[in-house]
Every structure is written in C-alpha cells, then in structure tokens.
Amino acid sequence: MNPYLALMVFTVTLAVGQLLFKLVAVRADWARPGETLLLQPALWVALAFYGGATLLWVWILKQVPLTLAYPFVAAGFILVPLGAWAFFGEPVTWRYSAGVALIVAGVVLTAT
C-alpha cells in the first residue's frame, strides 16, 4: 500500500472512530453506563477502528518520517467536527472555520 494513501485511510479511520464514540455517548443510559455502553455494537466497532488505525500507524511510521506523517493527524481536527455537524447537528461556527484555516495553513507550512 502507498504510504500516503495509508495516511489518508488512517486519518479517516480515526475520524470515523471518534464519530462512533460520540454515537455511543449519545445513546448511552448514563444511569447505568456499564450496561448500556458495553452492549452497544458501535462501541466495539469504534474500538476496532482505533485498533486497526494503531496498527496502520505503526506501519506508516516505518515507511515515512514522523514529521511528515504527523500533520495528517491534524486533518482529524477538520473531519471530526464536520462529521459531528453532518450526523449530530452540532454547529460549525466562524471560530471553528478560522481554526480550521489555521490548521490547514500549519499543515501546508510544515509539509513544504
């Protein structure tokens, strides 16, 4: 697998995992969290995504320098809130948009 494709898959996998964790949190009965959390398939899928992402990350780090790979983690700061907006109706404010612009500028600056 191409390491740069792997980096994109890694970033999306982490974002999906975060959105699944949010889904679990929304659905949980917090009066009895142990029961409701552990019985939710979304929790186990999120953990599987994170486990897979961890293994992929280790492989990626063998292929490319950490200084090149790590900025892709920052893309999660863009994908997760956009997913939260799309799936949970969470607001995307102008401050968020300005922050995303700064993150993108920082990633571009460090990658060049």
pLDDT digit string (tens) for 48-73?
999 999 999 999 999 999 988 888 88
Torsion angle defined by CA atoms of residues 81, 70, 103 and 95, in that order, rounded to the nearest 10 degrees: 30
Taking CA 39 as the corner, what is the angle to CA 36 and CA 45, rounded to the nearest 5 degrees?
120
pLDDT single digits (tens) 77-112: 889 999 999 999 999 999 989 988 998 888 788 777
Count CA atoms within 13 Å of residue 50 on its CB side: 11
Domain count, the chain: 1
Residue range of the domain that includes 87: 3-111
pTM: 0.86
Cα–Cα distance for residue pair 101/51, rounded to 1 Å: 30
DSSP string, 30-78: TTSHHHHHHT-HHHHHHHHHHHHHHHHHHHHHHHS-HHHHTHHHHTHHH
Cα–Cα distance for residue pair 70/78, rounded to 1 Å: 14
